[in-house]
Amino acid sequence: MSERWLDVCAAEDISDDTPLAAAVEGKEIALYRVDGAVYATDNLCTHGSARLCDGFLEGHEIECPLHQGRFDVRNGRALCAPLTADIQAYPARTEGERVFVRFDIQT
Ligand code: FES
């Protein structure tokens, strides 16, 4: 397996309390900033067809806008019903004015 860090957006595009959607090589992710750290997950909820970028971020928890399921943005863990599946989380980091997200690739 190899890993690639991809440039996904400007750091200033992610505000403290509002998730940001970004498209990276055909994959839609959501980016979050909590206490100065940046986190990334898939954007589509595992329960239905809602986008987490439209949800409500409180601390490290993103609440889905459709049925209020909550995920931990640090690791993608599903925290409550009606969720039954975690969401994919990706390592993210800020370098200078840009945000990079790591995608692992099967080789
Ligand atoms: Fe997200 Fe139902 S679509 S909790």
Domain boundaries, given as residue ranges, for the chain: 2-102
Q: How many CB atoms lie within 10 A of CB 99?
A: 24
pLDDT of residue 2: 79
Establish whether residue 82 lines the binding site of ligand 1, counting it when its CB lies within 6 angstroms of any ligand atom: yes
Q: What is the pTM of this model?
A: 0.94
CA of 52 to the centre of ligand 1 (A): 9
Looking at CATH, the fold of the domain delimited by 2-102 is given as Rieske Iron-sulfur Protein (2.102.10)
pLDDT of residue 107: 62
**Ligand 1 atom nearest to 49, measured from its CA:** 3
Establish whether residue 64 lines the binding site of ligand 1, counting it when its CB lies within 6 angstroms of any ligand atom: yes
The pLDDT profile of the chain, 107 residues, written as one tens digit per residue, is: 678 999 999 999 999 989 999 998 889 999 999 999 999 999 999 999 999 999 999 999 999 999 999 999 999 999 999 999 999 999 999 999 999 999 886 66
Decide if 92 contacts 80 (C-beta within 8 A). no
pLDDT of residue 106: 65
Q: Which of 81, 83, 92, 84 is nearest to 41 (CA)?
A: 92
